[in-house]
Amino acid sequence: MAKLYFRYGTMGSAKTMNLLAVAHNYQQQDKNVLLIKPKLDSRFGVELIRSRAGIEKSADILVEADSVLDVNQFEGLHCILVDEAQFLSTSLIEQLRHVTIDMNIPVICYGLRTDFTGHLFEGSKRLLELCDTIEEVKTTCNFCNRKAIFNMKLINGQATLQGPTVDLGAEEKYLPACTKCYYEKLKVSEI
């Protein structure tokens, strides 16, 4: 049976660049890969999967919370790659799980584990519950050299716990932070 993977990391950990490299490797071997992303991620264009390094590919399928995957589109695939998986609904994660079981196609999901307040996203929670393999894509804290585990949100350059959970942005809005720097910058003792 094929596996369901969750490769998570903080903002700026090169998750999307890793996804695009995996897609490239499959395609170099003349293998069919399908790219999925949430429609709500329109930072670089609705259909575009783009890394901060400038590498990009068009998504094959855009999904919304209530999307029902047409498994007929998956015939002949060697792998399915999902960007920004934290934004997927529980239903979509469960559908992807069944693709691995029923169609024997590996599904590799990339995304954030937690939001800027340190709480799991819906898609990430379900992936952590269902995945065969969970891998951390590591990066260092923006402020020191320790491993980053938090996504620090900024408003006017200041760390904050305010605002909507889904608030798309890049380096201008989010930075990777270790635990120590996260709490120091927020000046809080608990989340």
Catalytic center residues: 84
Backbone angles phi, psi at 124, to 5 degrees: -65, -40
Does residue 74 contact residue 105 with C-beta atoms inside 8 Å? yes
| Gap between the Cα atoms of 142 and 50, Å rounded | 21
